[in-house]
Structure 1
């Protein structure tokens, strides 16, 4: 394969001569383009007269009014030719033209072809050709159904079952900047504006690029051809021939949402590992600066790890990864051409932080995990998305640990995923991991399942499953699952079946089958709190709800009981795994008895070893001891409560293991009213002598809730004094260890250094404030030399801007505009939301609606950052309410970020007035809709109600405790 895409004039001429067909096609597309420009009087591309649009009518039972394709046709191959224009036409419109043919087999006779097509205008009457002995039926009419995004082709006669046909279309679409389908991304390099044509098909946007059967089960082989300027690079899922007409080799059988094609003038770096080509693409400036090198270094080891883990070779001949200036998601696992935000792929060792580095390696591991689990074997429908994303969210830690073995990164799943999703799954408006197919139909419903439940709860329950099966059994079942279903589609129970086969092969014993156990975790929302009473030995479970007075939004056939694996330790001695099978405390434990005997076979005695697994009922008094600690390393997806005596024993001598778990469980049990809030606060008393990251992070995460609830009340001052005293020793510890000039050696020690600086400064530590003020002033005095260490920049920028005024904010804005490294831009963008002058924050909010100032991909997160600021929260809320219709239409009803936006601007709500505003916002905008944020609205209302009740019950006790902590 060639190493570049730049060709000489001579080679170009030879290529065109040899590809006469390509030349004819280019001319034809040019004519189409000219025709479209002449028609385009109002910046929209109009359809031909042969294609009509369906009138707006009430929904019917007709196939085109349903959200799912009928199972009458099955696609086999596509031939798609696209020509994106990277320059606007005279009206300022960017377009692409295309031709597509799809070969499909008729499964059941029908006189209707339904194929997805969204925002594409046909420039020529579609044609239908039979590939068998019988002629194709005549096309009677073609109707576009914009609501369900179908092109309905009505035929005079029926297609014949078992026969294959080819549908040919020519079309034109807008190469918009909406971050979905085939879209454009713009950036400036050396003062020159440049345009990239790129894609994001997941979940339902391949239909914006060409007419297709756009469902994950409708797999096919794709032949992609791109026309592009000779000075640009054309990329797709597989390899290509290199001329201005770039034709790619046929793909494997795959789903439409995994397609990708890109035209740019990016540079790349590459290496070959065992004949596998690995390339990192990015803006030429970023490649020249070496920002792709870290990604290139870690990709090979991670790929090789997953080959061993899955016991399946990487299924493609190359692995391309590309960093895009505009990208709505963090990354996308397109098969063989993975797309990323720049912050998720590019790393600069002088400027990027340790957190940036961890994000890059975990996101790469996540997307590479999908190349098998998701791409090779694909979910049948989006209701099982959790299996796809939850699995990748779990094994990303395993892949990252392979690339960075000294980081102990696998431990961080507890903070990043388990604790994080507990907060959402404790709401009565949560939802199960797997929904019924009929509940997930519309594009916005599909987008809505790309949430914390699917990713983090999915990861948490699969980690629990791997733990109680053992990793060896789990991977064995996973390997046979992938081998059996390669290039096919599945439902989640297919994985349970193969895991059960592995259990049976290894003679393991479980109290129930894999499916019986896991259905309780997958088909009902929420999780249990397990209560252990060490005075009686009793152990019970209850559905954990943040507000116990609420009732789940949906019934459960399992009555909110789980089969719970209880890992536990008694007086620092690890005990056998117990299973809690119901609410009433029915326990079981597996006892393995090994029987050895011999038999005589001819003259040769033969020894036979037989293992018997027996389930017995444990003695309840096993739990009566000096102290008991359950759910070791938080491998189980549940919280744990104890009798008061055991809590006191644990608090008086908290073991190093599970400190973070104890803190998180205690605070959340207190939020639910199960234990006293002052008991939870007591778990923070030992922090004045704590130097480990995970306990500090768990404590700070939970104290953040107290700040949200009380930073507008008299509690705030007393809380600040207490937290300031607790963090002083940690701040002094890092002062002695690093003098704030050195980087700690340990991965998590670097995070704890950041925590020490952030919390000390935010609670008024004078030494900390002096450090930050001096650093930022030095930078302002000499903008070309930034004296602030990369790890500390986010904290320093935020603190300095909060303490400063317009001068500091304007300086940060100038640096933001001039920054060429995405991670540095992100730090500055977040820090500017820390300003304390309302007019600065209001100005910044207005910037989020101007893509020239704040990229569309960053608009919602910038508003959320402003809302996280106590000064900015009411401003952000007013801004969202005033501009909801514009935000919703401009950023797309299917945007993954709407739920984050709604949760982000309402998380501080804790008064009746705010609750009424939220309900009014829901009612006022019902006609507009909330897209993927619909569930977030209900969750915000529920959370606000819970906050109001919690404050009424706890404010006085919390105030008294912070005045006199003990």
Structure 2
């Protein structure tokens, strides 16, 4: 017997919290949806007349310029930055920008050293230092550029005076490269004419590529931005235009000073884009994109939801939107999904542009959720900001949670908030169940170098952060959670405050266990004895976590549960095990825990309760909420993967799908069966497995045939997704009625390329199935349509579908295309390789390709690129043999001198996952084969 505590969620928690006057203050912070840095250009721009500065070749030392963090001796106050990007190449073929910048800073502690970030910039004049107080500025003795730590070190003859302010002035030139980081260029063609855009992506450490700056999130300042540009173009930045001065050859646009903000949130763009706008309560809202896209109405949907979402967040935070305008711009080349620059949010075209005729329901959802994510950051991240990147999860996890709330406000009929379970909770479980996972919050000293910073922009920060905050909101109630959040803006600092009385512990005590240690528990309920236990869930129980935990991998677990449809009071499991007599059952009763998957944990039961749940699924599945039908499947498959329950028990959770028509259970099942395909699609298991899945999906295919005749949209948002699942899986398992449909539609399109008869929602599935069933003719037609497509979402569908080809030579040719940015944009290269690797025919080809070209890929696409971890995980997820494991280890060792950048942790995770796969296949292959032959 041990400690435990029951409490009615609504009455108990709210009553205790509010009666005690406690504030559940959440967290004040921020950071951003994406980031992706490139180290594409190792060659620096060397303009004639540039001041040359020596680069040290000494080994690292304890000197401040060899440290990755700035000393706290100086504090920036204001910047004046003037930039002139050239949108035509110079005589050497380079695109460059010229700039001048002055930063006013205060000396906090006396020092004879100015350290300021500068990366790939060449000073064209000697920097100058001016004193703004009564004492003269010290003389500059020397200037040294430290390329490794990306500092310009200015050594002074005498010390700066503490409390005094100074101004540092620099003139410089940099390359407007196509590396997708810092101040870079994006290219596209319109009516056969090449167009160039000068744009930015500063997060996390690339503002220093645009101008010398104190490039850390806590070193906020006010920025005065001026851009010189061609009169035929428009300049944008974070704030509104203050003044524009034209002459014959150049326009000078000066912007109003920004709010006090971090360098990573800066943005400035020069383009000839078009825009649409509306004004809501004196707030100017604009959507910018290629003129062709604007003329086609592709920005209308984004414009229609932005005002609604902004108003929602004003109410949610209880803080007015702090800027006079909200610009959003779709860029042809952008490595991230979107970036929340204050007042000027940048997006991939697929994340902002929507075409009513061509874009799918999924495209529409992606747009509204990403817009909500980025608008959430305009307060949480931009107004209140994290001090350092080790707490990135607070920024990204929070935005990843509330994006569902904002999207739900814009599209209230979609029931979109439920999808966080599939999109985030189940997704991150797979990573957080590895011994090589990491906590949400790391120590500052663990996150220092730019590539380490890039590495924390991962699924843990986004999806686990969202999942844990959703759990917190649920057990506190959304009202109390929001109240605490609003107080974060009042106090402008991170606070966890006592929110529940001593019987349950404080919010601090509860959340520390979810934030400061990696992983999550599996809660096991024995309904015969009433015993309830928690254990750290690991996919391979024989592994040990890479890091110790001060909490010994125990959590304070909020358990919501029912007993045969009767909701029970919330139960807190506060230790390893406890006796809970209320959870004993008899007769036809059954227990179901973690209702609607609001808790971040998995659930296991005694065999008798599992059997009762399986029976309920078969006989009266509506007794179990839709989300929990998905949960039962996902928990069972992963418990089986870890060897906690039998694999056949997990497979039996799919038997009821023959009569299931809801999206979430089907999607959960397909996600988990995908692992079986990855492990067995090169073995004798594949045939019987295809037969089983085909039999189950036939009923779903027939359901949508009757409901829609494949000509109409189903009524519900998730019903439309399930219609796609029905078609995709029916075709992939060889259902004749499906393959006939797909071939007919694709052939009709090939006969008349100007009229696509395939419904927008179904295109991804149809394109893939038709190309897989076809050959060179179908592939070449898809490539031709890809090159002609003017809607980004359509290009994405075709690009992914071409990876479905089954002829190796076509896939090898396609892999080579990824190294040619004229064929496949750099932003899409890694995702294209991953798509090819997802194809059983393409996987070994992609693996060989990446190994052969790793050095080139690493240098061209940036060691700090967020997509590197996705690339490594994507090309190795099918690995399940000792030979593949040794190849993976060899790949790691052979390329250690090159490095893996933000993919470093992914290499270790892939080795761990492959080792677990080998054990699992060896143990389960024969049993799985027998079960698929005779499913019971």
Q: If the length of structure 1 is used for normalisation, what is the TM-score?
A: 0.90
Is structure 2 residue 675 aligned with structure 1 residue 695? no
Task: Indicate the SS of the match to 1:334.
Answer: coil
TM-superposed deviation, 1:585: 2.3
Larger radius of gyration: 1
Partners of 1:110 and 1:102 in 2: how far apart? 17
Q: 1:571: which partner in 2?
A: 564
Which aligned pairs between 1:256-275 and structure 2 lie closer than 5 A?
256-275=263-282
Q: 1:715: which partner in 2?
A: 685
Q: 2:101: which partner in 1?
A: 100
Q: 1:640: which partner in 2?
A: 603
Structure 2 unmatched runs, 5+: 1-40, 246-250, 618-622
Q: 1:419: which partner in 2?
A: 426
Give the one of 364, 380, 384 matched to 1:377.
384
Are the aligned partners of 1:888 and 1:930 in contact in 2 as well (CA < 8 Å)? yes
Query: Quick check: 711-720 or 625-634, which moved more?
Result: 625-634
TM-superposed deviation, 1:53: 2.8
Partners of 1:659 and 1:404 in 2: how far apart? 24
Q: 1:90: which partner in 2?
A: 91
Structure 1 unmatched runs, 5+: 1-39, 587-617
Are the aligned partners of 1:51 and 1:142 in contact in 2 as well (CA < 8 Å)? no
Is structure 2 residue 882 aligned with structure 1 residue 912? yes
Q: 2:221: which partner in 1?
A: 220
Give the one of 797, 803, 815 matched to 2:767.
797
Partners of 2:44 and 2:137 in 1: how far apart? 37
Query: What does the per-residue CA deviation read over 1:83-123, in whole Å, with 9 as the maximum and x for residues that have no partner?
Result: 00000012110000000000000000000000000000000
Partners of 1:627 and 1:442 in 2: how far apart? 52
TM-superposed deviation, 1:54: 2.4
TM-superposed deviation, 1:495: 3.5
Are the aligned partners of 1:47 and 1:121 in contact in 2 as well (CA < 8 Å)? no
Give the one of 242, 245, 253 matched to 2:244.
242
Partners of 1:174 and 1:54 in 2: how far apart? 19
Query: What does the per-residue CA deviation read over 1:580-637, in whole Å, with 9 as the maximum and x for residues that have no partner?
Result: 0111227xxxxxxxxxxxxxxxxxxxxxxxxxxxxxxx54555667100000000000
Task: Indicate the SS of the match to 2:205.
Answer: coil
Higher relative contact order by CA 8 Å / sep ≥ 6: 1 or 2?
2
Which aligned pairs between 1:6-45 and structure 2 lie closer than 5 A?
44-45=45-46
Partners of 1:47 and 1:899 in 2: how far apart? 40
Partners of 2:781 and 2:584 in 1: how far apart? 64
Is structure 2 residue 656 aligned with structure 1 residue 656? no
Partners of 2:382 and 2:159 in 1: how far apart? 34
Partners of 2:878 and 2:462 in 1: how far apart? 24
Give the one of 472, 483, 501 matched to 2:479.
472
Q: 1:783: which partner in 2?
A: 753
Relative to 1, partners in 2 of residues 1:633 and 1:808: Cα closer, same or farther, differing over 3 Å? same
Are the aligned partners of 1:48 and 1:122 in contact in 2 as well (CA < 8 Å)? no
Are the aligned partners of 2:565 and 2:624 in contact in 1 as well (CA < 8 Å)? no
TM-superposed deviation, 1:242: 3.0
Give the one of 428, 432, 445 matched to 2:435.
428
Q: 1:535: which partner in 2?
A: 528
Are the aligned partners of 1:271 and 1:277 in contact in 2 as well (CA < 8 Å)? yes
Partners of 2:613 and 2:866 in 1: how far apart? 41
Give the one of 837, 840, 848 matched to 1:878.
848
Give the one of 278, 282, 292 matched to 2:289.
282
Task: Indicate the SS of the match to 1:53.
Answer: coil
Task: Indicate the SS of the match to 2:125.
Answer: strand
Are the aligned partners of 1:418 and 1:460 in contact in 2 as well (CA < 8 Å)? yes
Which aligned pairs between 1:289-328 and structure 2 lie closer than 5 A?
289-328=296-335
Partners of 2:455 and 2:860 in 1: how far apart? 18
Task: Indicate the SS of the match to 2:126.
Answer: strand
Relative to 1, partners in 2 of residues 1:849 and 1:391: Cα closer, same or farther, differing over 3 Å? same
Task: Indicate the SS of the match to 1:125.
Answer: coil
Partners of 1:307 and 1:483 in 2: how far apart? 14
Is structure 2 residue 444 aligned with structure 1 residue 437? yes
Are the aligned partners of 1:537 and 1:624 in contact in 2 as well (CA < 8 Å)? no
Partners of 2:328 and 2:316 in 1: how far apart? 21
Partners of 2:48 and 2:224 in 1: how far apart? 26
TM-superposed deviation, 1:434: 0.3
Task: Indicate the SS of the match to 2:409.
Answer: helix
Partners of 1:682 and 1:237 in 2: how far apart? 55
Partners of 1:656 and 1:121 in 2: how far apart? 65
Partners of 1:509 and 1:207 in 2: how far apart? 48
Query: Quick check: 125-134 or 625-634, which moved more?
Result: 625-634
Partners of 1:242 and 1:832 in 2: how far apart? 47
Is structure 2 residue 934 aligned with structure 1 residue 964? yes
Task: Indicate the SS of the match to 2:284.
Answer: strand
Partners of 2:700 and 2:267 in 1: how far apart? 48
Partners of 1:192 and 1:275 in 2: how far apart? 37
Relative to 1, partners in 2 of residues 1:93 and 1:50: Cα closer, same or farther, differing over 3 Å? closer
Task: Indicate the SS of the match to 1:297.
Answer: helix
Q: 1:64: which partner in 2?
A: 65
Q: 1:603: which partner in 2?
A: none
Which aligned pairs between 1:883-962 and structure 2 lie closer than 5 A?
883-962=853-932
Q: If the length of structure 2 is used for normalisation, what is the TM-score?
A: 0.93
Which aligned pairs between 1:751-762 and structure 2 lie closer than 5 A?
751-762=721-732
Query: What does the per-residue CA deviation read over 1:909-964, in whole Å, with 9 as the maximum and x for residues that have no partner?
Result: 00000000000000000000000000000000000000000001000110000000
